[in-house]
Chains A and B, each alone.
Chain A
Amino acid sequence: MELVPRVLGGDRRALARLISFIEDDGPAARAALAALYPHTGRAHIVGVTGAPGTGKSTLVNELAKALRAQSRSVGIVAVDPTSPFTGGALLGDRVRMRDLAGDPGIFIRSMATRGSLGGLAQTTGDVVKVLDAAGFEVVLVETVGVGQAEVDVARTAHTTVVVEAPGLGDEVQALKAGLLEIADVLVVNKADRPGAGQTARALEVTLDLGRNNRGEGDWRPPILKTVALDGTGVEEVLGAVADHRAYLRESGLWDRREQERVRVDLVRMLERELVGRLVERVGEDALEGWVEQIVARKVDVYTAVQTILKADPAGERAMSS
């Protein structure tokens, strides 16, 4: 596939095309990812998540600008939800990233969650891998922190920045969404607004209560106030992100997280492949027959699964080992 050498050579059009192939999940994308894999593993992957409207895109814009001032190249993946009713999506994060236009050291891609069953983390992870292989030193992944799928995406990052803002309701949003557990850096944005100090203190108290990150290591997420609109506090966030990276490296967690990520990836791919092959061999008609029998209560789904696997030696060998 000729896209791969072009991506490695810095061809941005090829990069954009390859990302589309990955989103469409074709076999060509898998071959390309295999070829690119040896070139991955260099980027620092930073997730930026939080409730809608907290200022994530504005913050990503500022973080990218600050990284560029350090001459570091930045890939950005901005994920927004697909409408479950129409399959369409309105991806508006670029509106806040105007400042980044025209910089060859930046590549921004907007992504819709689409329908992929639990596949969002995988697709996003693959898109990130391509940016990593293309040589971007930092990859910022913006997701709306509302559902499990988005939390899973955040988990694939090395460092997760959770963004909070005052004035979004009585509760601390990040707490409600279960985001505090995955936070490595906590940002209270819109510090120009009343209530920011209170939000920061609420987060502080919660951390004191022991809801700390991922249940590993002794990193305590710093709580930083920012005004993303004018860049106030952004240097500190970048500093905390760099500290966290150093911490991961020195503590050995970098490797452990990498292993964890690869294990999840491997098992997920195996599941997909195995189930796909098995369903193919059993055949749609036979499967339909089982469905009818189960609906008619002639057999139960548990017995059906065991019987199907027994009838397929290769399937059973794989499944029972």
Chain B
Amino acid sequence: MSERLRILIAKPGLDGHDRGAKVVARALRDAGMEVIYTGLRQTPEMIVEAALQEDVDAIGLSILSGAHMTLIPRVIEGLREAGLDQVRVFVGGIIPDEDVAALEELGVAAIFGPGTSTQVITDVVRRHLTGG
């Protein structure tokens, strides 16, 4: 693994609101990580391709649109097809309880609900990526 943690922050789906994603991106940068920010309206294919080119350790997906049960599985499947199984996937957004288990089953490393502090997010991400 690379010395410096690299993480892609992407906003899949069609809703045009990325304040939360930007706040998390800045917090991760302030925690010493290299954050590749891709912006709004990313398709799962675009996210997988960017993760491959940027050789990231993790992807953070910010989803508010309610389309998480279609978008997230497509990202995870795409990562697998690209041979990027080791890339961890984190999700931020409003995810109903009944979907949380299903997403974790699919391989999502952690899900952050609304109002999770950036401190908690950076701690959890770092713990997952450094195994410490």
Q: Do A and B come from one complex?
A: yes
- Point out residues on A near B: beta carbons under 8 Å: 12-13, 16-17, 19-20, 23-24, 82-83, 86-92, 94-95, 98, 101-102, 107-110, 112, 114
**For the complex of A and B, 8 pairs with smallest distance between CB atoms:** A95-B39, A88-B29, A16-B55, A101-B46, A92-B37, A90-B29, A87-B32, A88-B32
Give Cα distance in the complex from A17 to B55, angstroms: 6
Contacts of A114 in B (CB 8 A): 4
- Cβ distance B18 to chain A, nearest Cβ, rounded Å: 10
Q: How far is the CB of B60 from chain A (nearest CB, A)?
A: 13
Q: Which of B28, B53, B54, B82 contacts A88 (CB 8 A)?
A: B28
Distance of A203 from chain B, by nearest CB (Å): 31
A19→B29 contact, CB < 8 A: no
Residue of B4, B42, B55 near A19 (CB, 8 A) is B55
Given contacts A88-B30, A90-B26, contact A12 B52 (CB under 8 A): yes
Chain A residue at minimum C-beta to C-beta distance from B31: A88
Binding site for A on B (CB under 8 A): 2-4, 6, 25-26, 28-39, 41-43, 45-46, 49-50, 52-55, 82-84
Q: A95: which of B2, B37, B45 is its contact (CB, 8 Å)? A: B37
A-B contact pairs, 10 of them (CB 8 A): A20-B2, A23-B2, A82-B34, A89-B34, A90-B35, A91-B37, A94-B36, A95-B39, A98-B42, A98-B46
| Assembly CA distance A20 to B32 (angstroms) | 17
Q: Nearest CB to that of A94 among chain B residues?
A: B38
- Give A28 Cβ to nearest chain B Cβ, in Å: 12
Cα–Cα, bound, A90→B25 (Å): 7
A86-B31, A86-B32 known; A109 and B45 CB under 8 Å? no
Instruction: Name the distance in Å between A171's Cβ and chain B's nearest Cβ.
Output: 29
B residues near A94, Cβ cutoff 8 Å: 36-39, 50
A80 CB to closest chain B CB, in angstroms? Answer: 9
Which of B30, B34, B45, B83 is A112 in contact with, Cβ under 8 Å? B34
CB A146 to nearest CB in B, in angstroms, measures 18
A164 to B41, CA, bound (A): 29
Closest to A86 in B: B32
Structural contact, B49 and A91, CB atoms closer than 8 A: no
Nearest residue (CB) in A for B57 is A20
| Residue of A23, A83, A87, A90 most packed against chain B (CB within 10 A) | A90
Most-contacted residue by chain B among A87, A91, A95 (CB, 10 A): A91
Which A residue's beta carbon lies closest to that of B54?
Answer: A110
- Contact residues in B for A92 (Cβ distance below 8 Å): 37, 39
CB-based contact B49/A20 at 8 Å:
no
B2 touches A24 (CB 8 A): yes
Q: Are A112 and B4 in contact (CB under 8 A)?
A: yes
Q: Which residues of A contact B36 (CB under 8 A)?
A: 91, 94, 110
CA of A88 to CA of B125, assembled, Å: 14
Of A13, A83, A102, A110, the residue contacting B29 (CB under 8 A) is A83
B82: chain A residues at CB < 8 Å are 13
Q: By the criterion CB–CB under 8 Å, are A86 and B54 in contact?
A: no
Q: Kindly list chain B residues whose C-beta atoms are within 8 Å of the C-beta of A88.
A: 28-35
Contacts of B33 in A (CB 8 A): 88
Contact yes or no, A13 B30, CB < 8 A: no
- Bound Cα distance A110, B34 (Å): 10
CA distance A86 to B82 in the complex (A): 32
Min CB distance A32 to B, Å, is 14
- Bound-complex Cα distance A112 to B37 (A): 13
Q: A33 CA to B38 CA in the complex, in Å?
A: 29
Decide: B39 and A98 in contact? CB cutoff 8 A. yes
- Asked if A87 and B46 make an inter-chain contact with CB atoms under 8 angstroms apart, the answer reads no
CB distance from B81 to the nearest CB of A (A): 12
A102 vs B55: C-alpha distance when bound (angstroms): 16
Among B25, B49, B53, B55, chain A packs the most CB atoms within 10 A around the CB of: B53
Chain B residues with Cβ below 8 Å from A90 are 25-26, 29, 35, 37
Smallest CB separation, A75 vs chain B (Å): 10
* Bound complex: CA A107 to CA B52 (Å): 10
Query: Please, how many angstroms separate the alpha-carbon atoms of A17 and B28 in the complex?
Result: 22
| Cα-based distance from A18 to B53 in the complex (angstroms) | 11
Distance in angstroms from A106 CB to nearest chain B CB is 9
B45 — nearest CB in chain A belongs to which residue? A102
Q: How far is the CB of B101 from chain A (nearest CB, A)?
A: 31
